[in-house]
Structure 1
């Protein structure tokens, strides 16, 4: 009887091992990202920017947006920005002047509505067109400067990062970002220090795609002014709806101008 029981137990264990599914290999983030590059598809995101230092911790900017993909990567973006909490902090005052603002960018051409340009638009026009425009209008100065939807940028960040479960953390200089990232260059145009260091943390979802990105860097990396000494800009970005339908179009031509009243 003991032999029968042992035999049954051994057979059952063997069957269980045979039937157990193989452990799935971790998703390759670069391959997963490139797999999203389908015409008419894209991803949505939200940004929250805070300024800390000198005893302050102020939410200065909120943004919502989307990237539209083509076979080679990002082909268009649509970003709306608004000021965060009301504050006497100079940066919050600057943001209030820059927002509310919306920027549509198709290729390298941007269309910006609102913000500091609103009062400079000719009567009847709502959008300012710039063939080599900034990626996110005025809000780009305080928005997310790291774009993990760019394969070369994501690959560089992951290569030098420390990994813990599904989160990658590391640092990168503004100078290195400028070399590899079209988004960084188009968002800022100019900055104060190539040597400024941005800290980053990227958390992936189950498909190996970025779900949450946080960055922080000294404000003096952007602005060469004593008023920014000792202050840090931090941005949290969350990505949703990877692979969803995204269709970004230029505004109606009748509402667009390439000239400002003070030109």
Structure 2
């Protein structure tokens, strides 16, 4: 009997030891991101944006692109988008300058790019949350609730402005501070974001965007190739203007 009890005790201890590492090795998403923030490297993404008045929903934009990293976050990006009516445009951001190109921009003859402030959300229909920013990812993890490999939560524009240059440098930072963004992050086993869904209702918008008032903007973004080599370059200065025809 004693031998049987001893054998069972040893077996139980072995099972506990074998189970413990699986519980203890859940990847830290912030640490996982830090390891990927190497200059000259980045992440690829694709996304779909929708606008809704609460009754009808319109797919407004689809996009694909890359984010290029610095040691602290995003150093640049290159995004190619297609609008609901099949208009194509491209946005390239390097440092503090963003370059816009496409038929939707009325550019002077001989110029193919319009330069303006960079380092921010490239379009209204882009992903408002940037999980490649350490401070943003930390805030989303802190405010969210984890269930399996998903983290679901809500963050106000006012709080997002404190942690995210991607958001705070964009026109959205001038909209209502108490606007709430609902989000769901999906993580890989390595702790990296593979999918991000966000949604918010536009309120107290600036005059130039009055058509957006009350509308619900939602974006689903998928990320792949974290840490892969990428190269984002500014267009030739000869093709760039910082003025649009009046």
TM-score by length of 2: 0.85
After TM superposition, give the deviation of residue 54 of structure 1 in Å: 4.7
How many angstroms apart in 1 are the aligned matches of 2:243 and 2:81?
A: 23
Unaligned runs of at least 5 residues, structure 2:
none
How many angstroms apart in 1 are the aligned matches of 2:214 and 2:74?
A: 35
1:121 to 89, 108, 130: 108
After TM superposition, give the deviation of residue 63 of structure 1 in Å: 1.2
- Residues 152-202 of structure 1, C-alpha deviations (whole Å, 9 max, x = no match): 011111111111111111111111111211001233365321111111111
How many angstroms apart in 2 are the aligned matches of 1:209 and 1:242?
A: 8
How many angstroms apart in 1 are the aligned matches of 2:35 and 2:197?
A: 23
The equivalences for 1:107-256 within 5 A come to 107-117=95-105, 119-123=106-110, 125-130=111-116, 132-133=117-118, 135-137=120-122, 140-188=123-171, 190-220=173-203, 222=205, 228=212, 230-256=214-240
How many angstroms apart in 1 are the aligned matches of 2:36 and 2:237?
A: 31
Unaligned runs of at least 5 residues, structure 1:
87-95
Q: Greater CA radius of gyration, 1 or 2? A: 1
How many angstroms apart in 2 are the aligned matches of 1:180 and 1:160?
A: 13
How many angstroms apart in 2 are the aligned matches of 1:34 and 1:235?
A: 25
How many angstroms apart in 2 are the aligned matches of 1:227 and 1:105?
A: 26
Over aligned residues, Cα RMSD in angstroms?
2.9
1:156 to 1:10, Cα distance in 2 relative to 1, 3 A = closer
How many angstroms apart in 2 are the aligned matches of 1:200 and 1:208?
A: 17
Question: What secondary structure, in the 3-state scheme, does the structure 1 residue paired with 2:136 have?
Answer: helix
1:187 to 1:47, Cα distance in 2 relative to 1, 3 A = farther
The answer as to whether partners of 2:205 and 2:212 remain within 8 angstroms in 1 is no
1:30 to 1:54, Cα distance in 2 relative to 1, 3 A = closer
How many angstroms apart in 2 are the aligned matches of 1:147 and 1:218?
A: 18
